[in-house]
Amino acid sequence: MFNNTSASKLFLIKCLIIYLLWYVVYDVCLHQTRILDDAVIHNLALCSSFFLKSIGYTLIDFSSYDTGIVTLGIDGSHGVWIGDNCNGIALFALFTGFIIAFPGKIWHKLIYIISGITLIHLLNVLRISALCLISLYAPQALDFNHTYTFTIIVYAFIFFLWYLWVKKFQS
């Protein structure tokens, strides 16, 4: 992975700088305008809705969009809320920061980042769809699966993408 200690230190410094830049840009600018958060939440709701409808479920109307939260659910359930903490933007930044900080050609990084964010977003669509199904069939398990099961799955997937970058694609 790294040939020497100075390369490791440089990587960690890059990660810290990228994190601080992301924090400033996101928390000070982007999050305040809600443009990015609202767009991602709305897209998650649309994609999850499309997926659930395509496998035969009738959904609760999620058109009541208020304060950055969308309710999505299968008819007969209470549904789930999709809010800022569930939209995956922090995961996109975490994934992107690692790829940017790690050595590799810029063009390869750009393609990998776009592909990785797309895959993370699609995984989030599946996660939200699964939570809707859990809300219908096993509502008592919703909180556990939201908090633990899907957190482990999503972070494991991101680590897998990092592993692929380090072992196969960086060059």
Over residues 88-119, the pLDDT tens digits come to 999 999 999 999 998 889 999 999 999 999 99
Query: Rounded distance, CA 17 to CA 134, Å?
Result: 40
Over residues 120-129, the pLDDT tens digits come to 999 999 999 9
Q: How confident is the model at residue 45 (pLDDT cuts 50, 70, 90)?
A: very high
Query: Rounded distance, CA 34 to CA 24, Å?
Result: 15
Q: Please name the residue ranges forming H helices in 24-70.
A: 31-33, 35-54
Domain hosting residue 53, numbered range: 5-169
Domain count, the chain: 1
| Torsion sign over Cα 7, 13, 15, 21 | negative
Share of the chain above pLDDT 70, in %: 92
Residue type, 145: N
